[in-house]
Amino acid sequence: MVHLIAEDIGHRFGRRVLFRALGFSLRSGEALAVTGPNGSGKSTLLSIVAGLRRPVRGRVRLEDGGRVVADEDRPLRTGLVAPYLNVYDGFSARENLAFIARARRLPRAEARIRALLDLVGLAGRSDDRVATYSSGMKQRVRFAAALLPEPPLLLLDEPTSNLDEAGRAMVVRVMAHHRERGGVLLLATNNPEETTWCDRVLRVDAFR
C-alpha cells in the first residue's frame, strides 16, 4: 500500500506567493490532476512532492508498504517525466536505460528494460541512437526511464508535450500500468481532457 500526504504546503519566491495551505492525500491506484495558469506553481509543487525542493512551510510524507520513506530518499522513490529532463543523445534508448539501471544498482534489469521499451512503443527503435529520435520519441524514453526503478510515486509534468495521438495513448497506457501495480500519480496539465484521466483535480491557484 502506498500513501502520499501533502499537509499545509506553502511556497513563495521572494514576495510572490505561489500557494498557501495546500494539501491532498492519495492512496494506491489513485491519480491527481494538478492544474492552474502558467506560472501558478504546478511544476514547483511537483518538485516539492518529489523531494527536490523544500517548501517554505508544510510537509510531504510518502509511505510505502506501511513504512515512511525518509525525505532524503524520496527522490529515489519517485519517477519524474518532464520535457526539460535530458536523455543521452549519444546512447540508444536501451543504453540509456541500462546506464540508469547500473547507476541505481537495479538487479536483473534486462527483462524489465525490454518490457518498458515495448510499453512506451520504442521496441522497434530501441538500439538506434537517441540523437536520431524525434522530440516525441525522446519523451517516450523519459517515460521508460521514470518507470525503470518501479517507483511508488510517479509525477508527470505536461507529459503529452511533443506527442502525437499514438503518444497520448501511450501516456494513458503508462498511467494505467502504474496505477494497476499500486502506485500513486500526479499529472500537471492545462489540458481539460487530460484531467479526466485522473480521479480528482487540484487547482494550484485556488490556494493562493
Each residue's pLDDT tens digit, 171-187: 999 999 999 999 999 99
Query: What pLDDT does 83 receive?
Result: 82
Decide if pLDDT at 113 tops 90: yes
The pLDDT value given to residue 182: 96
DSSP string, the chain: -EEEEEEEEEEEETTEEEEEEEEEEEETT-EEEEE-STTSSHHHHHHHHHTSS--SEEEEEEEETTEEEPGGGGGGGEEEE-TTS---TTSBHHHHHHHHHHHTT-TTHHHHHHHHHHHTT-GGGTTSBGGGS-HHHHHHHHHHHHHTT--SEEEEESTTTT--HHHHHHHHHHHHHHHHTT-EEEEE-S-HHHHTTSSEEEEGGGG-
Instruction: Report the interhelical angle of 165-180 vs 135-147 (nearest 10°).
Output: 0
pLDDT tens digits, 158-171 = 999 889 999 999 99
Residue 162: the pLDDT is: 83
Please name each of the domains of the chain with its CATH number: 2-207 (3.40.50.300)
C-alpha span between 184 and 27 (Å, rounded): 6
Residues in the chain: 208
Cell of 95: 543504453
Question: Across residues 3-24, what is the average pLDDT?
Answer: 95
Cell 500537471 maps to which residue?
188
Confidence of residue 208 (pLDDT cuts 50, 70, 90): confident
pLDDT for 11 beyond 90: yes
Strands 2-13 and 57-64: antiparallel
pLDDT above 90 (res 154): yes
Residue 108, pLDDT above cutoff 90: no
Q: Stretch 186-200: mean pLDDT, rounded?
A: 96
Average per-residue pLDDT for the chain = 95
Per-residue pLDDT, 47? 96
Per-residue model confidence (pLDDT) at position 161: 83
pLDDT at 107: 87
What confidence score (pLDDT) does residue 199 get?
A: 97
Residue 96 pLDDT greater than 90, yes or no? yes
Contact 23, 7 (CB under 8 A): yes
Cβ atoms of 186 and 155 closer than 8 Å:
yes
Q: Note the pLDDT tens digit of each residue in 45-67.
A: 999 999 999 999 999 999 999 99
